[in-house]
């Protein structure tokens, strides 16, 4: 055994014993509201695999209102079907966690030394009748003035206890995914508490590989990508001083006949009367075009469900990026080695990304080449077929 092989073997063992880096964050924001991007197979996979418990008050209901609009839109058939009980479509238990109304009302410490919503979540998940639940979502009412550090710390308590590898016994066979969430606009603009709070949550999720439904970001942009939060903007999509404009009204008026406008209004669609009352985002006036806010959030929910079911978000494969995180690093090296030993138990995002020498199959030589590439990318380029 030559010196190079000995070094390779030693580094490989060290990598396998080292703590794994955080998984890639899943951020669902205004870029994630185009249903045409989601392959049907991942919608169906979400219906098959996911069992969601969601707790909220009025603002949080915007997600559900939007989901209802998609479910009822005739052109979609049963694609976006869901039910509280899981009897048909996606198992999405609305108001599914008793014991605390929402994150805003639960912003305190209870007799258990955690927030009331942590206690409520524990009570739900520790009940063996609920071992099927594998996604937990909590939303804010108003996030303004609340303790964001406490929110993040308490979410991490739940992650540490119930996610894959967690300390709670149920995590071994019934792990849970936890969805973080930002809070809605209230006319403060970028200099206010809400923007800073939302930015803190976003950065935490990026830094720690968490799942974020970016409630705020989805309403801050119209479907053309125009940004309104700095105008300032409110939760009903009004913007500018004196709430003089409404981007929902403007966009729908300018895009009459589009699928998104029809989902909002029902205009020209037989058997569909549009998105029903959208909490805090009806109007302006009787046309109720601000209800596009709910429709976009409903679309975002289905994007997130597909991601949680395993969809990569439509990313193009990157040679050597076997984890599907978008970059090549030591986490890819560890997974590739484990895949060589046990392919079924350690699947990779795209098979072609692991065949870095492009010889048609994956073996230890690919591990060696990937290790050399990570150490010196210029001297050891990768050569995948994808």
Q: Does 55 lie in the same domain as 141?
A: yes
Specify if 303 maps to a domain. yes
Residue with more model confidence, 35 or 19: 35
Average pLDDT over every residue of 111-136: 98
Confidence of residue 2 (pLDDT cuts 50, 70, 90): low
Q: Is the domain of 334 the same as that of 296?
A: no
Q: Please count the structural domains in the chain.
A: 2
Q: Do residue 163 and residue 252 come from a single domain?
A: yes
Answer yes or no: is 129 within a domain. Answer: yes
225 and 333 share one domain: no
> Is residue 21 very low, low, confident or very high in pLDDT (cuts 50, 70, 90)?
very low
The reply to whether 1 falls in a domain is no
Q: Are residues 194 and 324 in the same domain?
A: no
Measure the CA–CA gap between 275 and 64, rounded to whole angstroms. Answer: 11
Tell me, yes or no, whether 4 lies in a domain. no
Tell me: do 150 and 207 sit in the same domain: yes
Question: Residue 17: inside a domain, yes or no?
Answer: no
Q: What is the mean pLDDT of residues 234-260?
A: 98
Q: Does the pLDDT at position 373 exceed 50?
A: yes
If asked whether residues 196 and 247 sit together in one domain, one would say yes
Mean local confidence (pLDDT), 139-163: 98
The answer on 341 and 231 residing in a single domain is no
Domain shared by 74 and 162, yes or no? yes
Q: What is the mean pLDDT of residues 128-155?
A: 98
Q: Which domain holds residue 383?
A: 315-386
Check whether residue 321 and residue 288 sit in a common domain: no
CATH of the domain at 321: 1.10.1330.10
- Is residue 150, in this structure, part of any structural domain at all? yes
pLDDT tens-digit map of 161-177: 999 999 999 999 999 99
Last residue of a domain, one of 271, 286, 308: 308
**Do 193 and 332 share a domain, yes or no?**
no
Residue 42 has pLDDT above 60, yes or no: yes
The verdict on 125 and 81 lying in the same domain is yes
* pLDDT tens-digit map of 306-350: 999 999 898 778 899 988 777 898 888 998 999 998 887 788 868
- Residue 3 domain flag: no
In a domain, 12, yes or no: no
* 246, 277, 308 - which closes a domain: 308
Where residue 151 falls among pLDDT bands split at 50, 70, 90? very high
Mean pLDDT, the chain, integer: 93
Domain end point (choices 308, 332, 363): 308
């Amino acid at each position: 055994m030559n010196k190079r092989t000995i070094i390779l073997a030693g580094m490989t063992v060290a990598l396998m014993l080292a703590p794994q880096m955080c998984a890639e964050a899943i951020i669902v924001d205004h870029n994630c509201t185009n249903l045409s991007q989601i392959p049907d197979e991942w919608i169906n996979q979400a219906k098959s695999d996911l069992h969601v418990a969601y707790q909220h008050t009025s603002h949080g209901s915007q997600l559900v209102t939007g989901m209802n609009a998609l479910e009822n839109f005739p052109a979609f058939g049963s694609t976006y079907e869901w039910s509280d009980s899981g009897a048909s479509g996606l198992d999405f238990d609305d108001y599914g966690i008793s014991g605390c109304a929402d994150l805003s009302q639960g912003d305190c410490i209870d007799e258990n030394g955690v927030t009331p919503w942590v206690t409520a979540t524990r009570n739900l998940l520790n009940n063996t009748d609920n071992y099927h639940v594998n996604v937990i979502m909590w939303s804010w009412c108003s996030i303004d003035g609340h303790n964001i550090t406490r929110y993040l710390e308490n979410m991490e308590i739940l992650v540490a206890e119930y996610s894959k590898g967690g300390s709670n016994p149920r995590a071994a066979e019934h792990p849970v995914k936890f969805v973080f969430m930002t809070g809605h606009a209230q006319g403060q603009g970028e200099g206010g508490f809400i923007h800073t709070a939302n930015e803190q949550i976003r950065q935490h999720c990026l830094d720690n590989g968490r799942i974020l439904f970016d409630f705020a970001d989805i309403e801050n942009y119209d479907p053309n990508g125009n940004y309104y939060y700095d105008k300032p903007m409110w939760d009903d999509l009004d913007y500018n001083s004196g709430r003089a404009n409404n981007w929902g009204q403007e966009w729908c008026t300018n895009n009459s006949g589009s699928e998104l406008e029809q989902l909002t209004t029902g205009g020209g669609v037989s058997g569909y009367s549009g998105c029903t009352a959208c909490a805090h985002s009806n109007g302006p006036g009787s046309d109720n075009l601000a209800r596009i806010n709910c429709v976009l959030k409903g679309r975002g929910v289905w994007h997130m469900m597909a991601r949680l079911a395993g969809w990569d978000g439509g990313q193009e494969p990157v040679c050597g990026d076997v984890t599907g995180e978008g970059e090549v690093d030591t986490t890819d090296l560890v997974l590739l080695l484990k895949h060589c030993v046990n392919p079924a138990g350690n699947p990779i995002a795209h098979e072609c990304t692991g065949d870095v020498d492009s010889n048609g199959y994956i073996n230890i030589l690919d591990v060696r080449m990937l290790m050399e590439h990570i150490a010196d990318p210029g001297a050891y380029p990768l050569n995948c077929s994808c």
